[in-house]
Amino acid sequence: MGATGAVGQEFIKVLEQRRFPVASLRLLASARSAGKKLTFRGEALSVEELKENSFKGIELVLGSAGGAIARQFNPIAVAAGAVVVCNTSAFRMDPAVPLVVPEVNPQDIHWHKGIIANPNCSTIIMNVPVWPLHRANPIQRMVVSTYQAVSGAGAKAMAELEQQARDWAAGRPLVKGAMLHQAFFNVFSHNSRIAQNGYNEEENKMVNETRKIFHCPEMRVTATCVRVPVLRAHTEAINLEFSGPMGEQQVRDILSKAPGVRIVDDRGNNYFPMPIDAASGDDVLVGRIRQDASLPGGTGIDLFVSGDQIRKGAALNAVQIAELL
């Protein structure tokens, strides 16, 4: 559902790369995209219009067509006998719906009632390296700042940033439309709506979804979510305050064994996680691992991480959930 979007197209790629046991694949999208051809395992498949009767005989739905579509069609798909792994925010905070990062809370898939929610991209990329540290030494408070790719705003936003770069190089005026602000040679506070508490929706997702995924409703998190002119990997500066002393070497030891994590932390060569290295990969890159000098007793750690927003932040995580199922 949403096959022609940035995440939809990545779903197809990930299913193919991971040899997911697909017997037959149906590509569902809006009427506008119907008839378009997309390739799966060397075969050109036609995109079909998403309709109420689209789910006959379907066992698994991977959804990334936006919240309104999810609210309308997820219950229909479930009624037809499918399990929906939903990449929109529509059902994430529903107490009846598990919210799953396979490296963190795989056990939560067992209590689903037809829908399993895939978390927000920035949340997933933060949770993968932070969870094993939290298990070793409970985290009291997190302060995170993001450097988010435009891919999170969709395929049109990626095309817009690329077009702005071409227009700048040609001396033409820059055009915007998919994004509220110019992305090229700029940085802006995340485009989501500002909620009552002064945080934007993306920041509130990072706070609330982390609490649900970690089963830690009291976890204290503050986040500042920001877009940068990067195409498809999110980077995050994460400050962690632990319950007890936590050394750099202990963090390195834990993260070197953590699933989904790759340490990139070469101080001598000033080589750390970068979105151009994280892009199109499966791992969350983690570096700048250092003791926070501002917290007493060695209870603080700073990290700098980068992960592909479309893959681990969306399509890969959803397919990993489907693999667990």
Given the structure tokens 């990545």, which residue do they identify?
10
Q: Is 248 in the site for a second copy (CB under 8 A)?
A: yes
Separation of alpha carbons 272 and 228, rounded Å:
18
Q: Is 145 in the site for a second copy (CB under 8 A)?
A: yes
Q: Is 155 in the site for a second copy (CB under 8 A)?
A: no
- Binding segment for a second copy (CB under 8 A), chosen from 45-53, 61-69, 78-86, 264-272, is 264-272
- 134 as an active site residue: the answer is no
Q: Is 185 in the site for a second copy (CB under 8 A)?
A: yes
Q: Is 193 in the site for a second copy (CB under 8 A)?
A: yes
Q: How far is the CB of 209 from a second copy (least distance, A)?
A: 14
**For 246, what's the count of Cα atoms within 13 Å in the CB-facing half-sphere?**
32
Closest to a second copy by CB, 246 vs 319, is: 246
Q: Is 325 in the site for a second copy (CB under 8 A)?
A: no
Q: Which two tokens stand for residue 304?
A: 């700098």
Distance of CA 22 to the CA centre of its chain: 23
Name 217's Cβ contacts closer than 8 Å, sequence gap at least 6: 211
- Binding segment for a second copy (CB under 8 A), chosen from 1-9, 50-58, 127-135, 191-199, is 191-199
The residue within the footprint of a second copy, chosen from 14, 207, 255, 314 (CB under 8 A), is: 207
Closest to a second copy by CB, 23 vs 170, is: 170
The residue within the footprint of a second copy, chosen from 300, 309, 314, 322 (CB under 8 A), is: 300
Q: Which two tokens stand for residue 253?
A: 């030891």
Which element (helix H / strand E) includes 286? strand 284-291
Separation of alpha carbons 32 and 232, rounded Å:
25
Instruction: Count CB neighbours of 149 within 10 A.
Output: 29
Q: Is 113 in the site for a second copy (CB under 8 A)?
A: no
Q: How far is the CB of 227 from a second copy (least distance, A)?
A: 10
Contact 258, 299 (CB under 8 A): no
Separation of alpha carbons 48 and 29, rounded Å:
6
Instruction: Count CB neighbours of 152 within 10 A.
Output: 26
Q: Is 143 in the site for a second copy (CB under 8 A)?
A: yes
- Binding segment for a second copy (CB under 8 A), chosen from 7-15, 16-24, 263-271, 314-322, is 263-271
Which one from 121, 134, 190, 225 is the annotated catalytic residue?
121
DSSP secondary structure letters along 220-278: EEEEE-EE-S-SSEEEEEEEEEESS---HHHHHHHHHT-TTEEE--BTTTTB---HHHH
The partner residues of 224 in beta bridges, in order of sequence, read: 145
Contact 96, 118 (CB under 8 A): no
Which one from 112, 134, 190, 234 is the annotated catalytic residue?
234
Q: Which residues are catalytic?
A: 121, 234
Binding positions for a second copy, rule: CB under 8 A: 141-143, 145, 147, 165-166, 168-170, 180-182, 184-189, 191, 193-194, 197-200, 207, 220-222, 224, 226, 228-231, 235, 237, 239, 248, 267-268, 270, 272-276, 287-295, 300, 302, 304, 306
